[in-house]
Structure 1
Amino acid sequence: MATVSEWIEGARPRTLPNAIAPVVAGIGATIALDAFSWGRSLLALLVSLSLIIGVNFANDYSDGIRGTDENRVGPLRLVGSGAANPKSVLRAALISLGLAGVLGLTLVALSGFWWLLAMGALCILGAWFYTGGKKPYGYYGLGEIAVFVFFGLAGVLGTVYVQAGRVSWDALGCAVAVGSFSMAVLVANNLRDIPTDIESGKHTLATRMGDAGTRRMYLTLLAVPYLLTVVMGLWHPLVFISFLTAPLLAKPVKAVGGGGKGRELIPALRDTGLAMLTWAILTAVALAI
């Protein structure tokens, strides 16, 4: 039976910035539209956190029963390591995704935009079929696109829309920036796992692009948020403060660009996520002011 600390590690706390950052950036864009609501912002954050924890447990379960995680280099996986029974991990995934559904329904009811239920359902289905089902899209090189859509576009624009009833160019800029950061986190993860993914038959975008191509993609994705910072800064000069996050990427850029492999790449996930969250916070403050 898994311990509490193993369950916490199995929830993959290093990925939580991917859930928090889009909501924080969305809040900044919402304040700029003078439409901020504490209650709806909190609900949006809880939905996002429930979704990412749910997808993490679902990924742990699905990869575990396929044997994909048997020779992992990265952090603990509950099913793959044998620390937890597959059924208990599946139950944790369903509870988390179910909670996201209930909280999302509440948020939609408060906003009155019932068509958003379709987007919520798509997010939950996307969380499950990332590695679940007979043909998981994460095994066909589509994981990065899904992360961009769900934890970039949907996360930021959804947070803004349920409060303001519309979106803005600032919100779109934040959505693309956070989505690019989120993609970079996943790319760093999949870069580390290329050898084991090839061995287990998991065809991620990284396995398709190869080692060198994946490293170039990571560096390109990190450039996108700062290009958007320049564009947004032309209208909101205070947004330039977000360049203070660039030094946080020095170590991951060195690890990925310098040919780091295996465990050398694990800190890159953490540092990229931290840079994303800090960028979102600073940008949100700048837009709010």
Structure 2
Amino acid sequence: MKTNSLSAWILAVRPYSLGNSVILVLIGSALAYTDHSFHWLPAVLCLVFAVLMQCTANLVNDLWDFLKGADKPDRLGPDRAFAKGYITLPAMKAGIAGFTLAACAAGIGLLVWALRAGILRYGGWELIAAGAACILFAYFYTAGPWPLAYHGLGDIAVILFFGLVPVGFTYYIQTGAWTWEVLVAALACGLVIDTMLMVNNFRDREEDARCNKRTIVVCLGAGVGRWGYFALGAAAVALCLTLLAGGRIWAALLPLPYLAAHTATWRKLLRIDHGDALNVCLGETARNIMLFGALLTIGILLG
């Protein structure tokens, strides 16, 4: 692969993972639509911001996992562009800065729209705080003197920034409110997306232990990875069932087929147990996340 080529950048931003950001904004927007408050422009800006911030986080992760020794050229997981030498250090730093600035531009657009719409409760400071938190998460998940992913906080960070924040603020920006149903849907999304981190950490547990990357699986043992993976998906479906209390029957029941797909992948994870063969489970997990997002979005729209 040619150094700093388009193909190298596509590999670096990990397009297979960007669907996570898409489904989060879709679910938040679907909830706003059923509450008669959907606005297409902030929904699009939320989507652009979420995707750009995920690209930023992926690039920072690509760079700093290599610098910290977690990603080596012979890693078990999918190829990393910087570790393979496909992107140079100056280009990677420039790319991170570029994606961050582009995300900030989308965030400023959101702030301007929301202020003009008069929909915010705290004068826009809540959006500034949320945007700043997203940027800090993107960087300090793997970078900095105390990276979250290296101190057992990766899963909490994913549930927060790939669940509660994007779904909640996508809804809030369009409605000026926050409901218990939004909280349930956002938390369910965070748990489902954390299954991808869990299977990654389960696969890499021996490498992570060698480089002192203290994930939950490294700290508490492989059993937590095996059973935690299943528990995350099952808990997400259980949370969706609570939407029955709000009369959202389809949103509660339609995600149930996801649990069957999730269970099948979990059983495969147990059989394989270790090695790069677990990348099959990683691919299936990405597919299952998209399935969950599609089913929950459709269920919300159906009522």
TM-score calculated relative to the size of structure 1 = 0.94
Identity across the alignment (%): 28
| Structure 1 gap segments, 5+ residues each | none
| Structure 2 gap segments, 5+ residues each | none
Q: Deviations over 1:116-161 (max 9, x none)?
A: 1011001101110111112212111111111111110001001000
Residues 1-289 of structure 1 correspond to what in structure 2 (within 5 A)? Answer: 1-70=3-72, 71-112=74-115, 113=120, 114-115=124-125, 116-234=127-245, 235-239=247-251, 240-289=253-302
Supply the RMSD in Å over aligned alpha carbons.
Answer: 1.6
Q: Runs in 1 of length 4+ with deviation above 6 angstroms?
A: none
Q: Deviations over 1:167-215 (max 9, x none)?
A: 2222111101000011111111111111111112211122112111221
1:259 deviates by 4.5
Are the equivalent residues in 2 in contact too, given 1:181–1:273 (CA < 8 A)? no
Are the equivalent residues in 2 in contact too, given 1:157–1:175 (CA < 8 A)? yes
Question: Could you say what secondary structure the match of 2:184 adopts?
Answer: helix
Question: How far apart, in 1, do the equivalents of 2:171 and 2:110 lie?
Answer: 12
Q: Deviations over 1:56-105 (max 9, x none)?
A: 00111112223321141111112212222122112212211221111012
Greater RCO (Cα-Cα under 8 Å, separation 6 or more): 1
Question: How far apart, in 2, do the equivalents of 1:286 and 1:209 lie?
Answer: 36
TM-score calculated relative to the size of structure 2 = 0.90
Task: Output the amino acid matched with 1:131.
Answer: T
Task: Output the amino acid matched with 2:99.
Answer: S
Equivalent residues, number: 289
Question: How far apart, in 2, do the equivalents of 1:145 and 1:259 lie?
Answer: 26
1:49 deviates by 0.4
